[in-house]
Structures are given as structure tokens and as C-alpha cells.
Amino acid sequence: MKEINDLSDVLEETEKASSEIIGVEYEDESDSDTDIVEKPYNPDDIRINHKFFSVSDIYRWMSADPPKITIKPSFQRNLVWNVQKQSLLIESMLLRIPIPSFYFYEDEDEHKNVIDGLQRLSAIFRYVNGEFALSGLQYLEDKCNGKKFKDLEQKYMARIEDTQLSVNILDSRAPELVRFDVFTRINTGGIPLNRQEIRNVLASKATMELLSNMSKSEEFSSATHGAVKDIRMILSFLTP
């Protein structure tokens, strides 16, 4: 079992980390769990499909009832970009500058969970959904600053809606060991998923909801002395 102080130190370092690279969710973390995969597997078991989806497609799936894409699985990191950083990502799209690829995990019901690209996808959805106005733009300040999606000129709205997002989808048929390894490798450029976060992605919805409810209980808060924050909702000390 990890000491609470160690977890607090990791979380404090995570909170301090930041990046100036627009569109890349880069942050450093010492607790990377790089030893998750302990034995080899057959490379032929890796099943990743590379596809392109328009922003319009992604927005429609995320707006569906129920959503066809889970943008923030239970216990996933809860960091949120500020409005300016989200605005600069949108400006990149308006300038037709490609943004990094996304990684999804598709379960047996063909429901997609976001593994890498949480902040970028959240920013895109929130902007198209009219939840914030652009600010702090560098190149389109005169034309787009202070505008929500519905207020943009038609050509700029079309540029966002038609933007093709590069998405790598990990197939549910891949063995669990393969999925653990893939999740570790695709996060080497950002905050690596810890063991518990990977388990949460692979777990059933009922299991995640149970753990989520347990983590919010008074008993949990008392046992941890309130030291565990929800920045990444780290609960790895609950498991071996």
C-alpha cells in the first residue's frame, strides 16, 4: 500500500506541470508505472484501426443520448485547460493546422472511450457547443476574438466542422495484456496512465460507477484524511 504522503507529492507535482505546446497534452510525472507489462505477447494480437472523423461526426456522437463516446471515463484525470489554451487549439483548426492524433478504446458494444486527447476533444466539443468565446488568439484576433461558435463567419464555422481528426482505435478483441501495453506506450508523451486508470478504462460501467461512489463516501475521505484530490482521481492504493 502506498503512503498517503507519496500520493500527495505526486499530485502536487502533477498540478505544477504544464506545457506551452498548443494541442499537445504534455506534462511530466515521476509515477509512470512503466513496468506494467511484465511478459511478452504475440505482436499479431495488437489490433489498432486508424481512421479519420470530422468534427461534425465526433460532435454528433458526443451529443447523442446516450453518448457514443465517453470523453471522461470515471477516475480519468480531471485537469481542464483554461479558456485561452482551448481558444488557441480552436485557432489552430481555423488556420487549418493539423492537431495530434487521438486514441480511443472501443468496447464490445462499439462504445468508444477517450484514452489520449481528453483535453483537446473536450475543448472542441465545448466550443462547438457554445460554452465559451475565443480569447487570446494570435493570428485571428480581429476576426474571431470574443466570438462563440455560432457567431463566427460561415467560412470559419465550416473549417471547424469539416476538420478531419486522426483517430487510432484500439479494438476490444485485443488481449488485456496488449491493451495495458498500448495504453502505456501511447501516453509516453503526456501524463502516463497509472495502473488504476488503465483498469478503469477496461472495467465495466457498473464497476466504475461503484468505485466512483465509494471514492466519494465519508468513509473513504476519513480513511485517506482527505489527502487524495480529484486531479487524476488516483486510487491505485486500493489495489495490489
- Percentage above 90 pLDDT, the chain: 36
pLDDT-derived band at 234 (thresholds 50, 70, 90) equals very low
Q: Which domain holds residue 125?
A: 4-238
Structural domain count of the chain: 1
Among 58-72, 117-131, 163-177, 189-203, the range scoring the smallest mean pLDDT is 189-203
- Residue 29's φ and ψ, nearest 5 degrees, are -155, 135
Contact 29, 191 (CB under 8 A): yes
Query: Torsion angle of alpha carbons 49, 173, 63, 99, nearest 10°?
Result: -30
Instruction: Show contacts of 171-177: CB within 8 Å, 24+ apart.
Output: 171/47, 171/48, 171/49, 171/106, 172/105, 172/106, 172/107, 172/108, 173/47, 174/45, 174/46, 174/47, 175/41, 175/45, 176/202, 177/37, 177/39, 177/41
Find out whether the peptide bond into 66 is cis, omega within 30 degrees of 0.
yes
Q: Taking residues 27-34, what's their average pLDDT?
A: 44
Residue type at 114 in one-letter notation = V
Element at 21 (helix H, strand E): none
At 33-69, the pLDDT tens digits run: 444 445 566 777 778 889 999 999 999 999 999 889 9
Three cell numbers at 238? Answer: 486500493
* Residue bearing the bigger pLDDT, 207 or 3: 207
pLDDT-derived band at 163 (thresholds 50, 70, 90) equals very high
Q: What is the pLDDT of residue 23?
A: 45
pTM over 0.85: no
Average pLDDT, the chain: 74
Three cell numbers at 236? Answer: 491505485
Sign of the CA dihedral 107, 181, 53, 23? positive
